[in-house]
Amino acid sequence: MGETTTLHDWPQPYRLLDAQPYWHALSGEDLAFQHCADCAQAVWPAHSHCPGCSSTALTWKRSNGRGTIYSHSTIMRGPTPVWASIVPYTVGFVHLEEDYFLFAQIDGDPEEIEIGRAVAVRYVQRGEQKLPVFALVDDGPEQ
Ligand SMILES: [Zn+2]
């Protein structure tokens, strides 16, 4: 790997210390989030204390990666050459079934992406890091 920036260089995330288990889980294609053992709420982004009850009894759980679209915005002009290479693309907040929100790319036809639609996580390699991307799923009954 050279040090020259190319069209295909993805910006790499800044990994906050509290969120290290999240980044580690992603490399194995798992979605991890914090959970408070005292008040039982999901905690995200990662904290050293529960924002609900101040407990330090935070543990890591694995998300099932399913949720619904809470908000979305489709980008037509990429902010950098690598992002411009994939326009149009959509980003937004996904409300996970474990009751926390994650900001991520949402894959799919922008005309079909709507608030409340069901999505499921998949993983894409972006530079050195795997990242979660949510894709539309059918709203039919659960298997
Ligand atoms: Zn708590």
pLDDT in tens, 92-115: 999 999 999 999 999 999 999 999
E strand residue ranges, the chain: 32-36, 42-43, 58-62, 66-69, 73-75, 89-96, 101-107, 118-126, 129-136
Q: What is the chain's mean pLDDT, rounded?
A: 91
51 plus 110 within the same structural domain? no
Span 118-128, average pLDDT: 94
Confirm if 116 and 69 have CB atoms less than 8 A apart: yes
What's the CA-to-centroid distance between 115 and ligand 1, angstroms?
28
Phi, psi of 105 (to 5 degrees): -75, 140
Does 57 map to a domain? yes
Banded model confidence at residue 15, pLDDT cuts 50, 70, 90: confident
What's the CA-to-centroid distance between 35 and ligand 1, angstroms?
8
* Comparison of pLDDT for 138 and 59, the residue scoring more: 59
Tell me, yes or no, if the pTM score tops 0.85: yes
CATH of the domain at 71: 2.40.50.840
Mark which of 62, 83, 118 sits at the end of a domain.
Answer: 62
Does 131 map to a domain? yes
What's the CA-to-centroid distance between 58 and ligand 1, angstroms?
8
105 plus 41 within the same structural domain? no
What's the CA-to-centroid distance between 16 and ligand 1, angstroms?
21
Sign of CA dihedral 72, 33, 133, 126: positive
What's the CA-to-centroid distance between 32 and ligand 1, angstroms?
17
140 plus 111 within the same structural domain? yes
71 plus 141 within the same structural domain? yes
What's the CA-to-centroid distance between 80 and ligand 1, angstroms?
39
Mark which of 32, 62, 92 sits at the end of a domain.
Answer: 62
Beta bridge partners of 130: 125
Tell me what pLDDT residue 10 has.
Answer: 87
46 plus 112 within the same structural domain? no
The domain of 81 spans 65-143
78 plus 57 within the same structural domain? no
83/11 Cα distance (integer angstroms): 9
**Nearest-CA neighbor of 11 among 75, 77, 88, 78?**
78
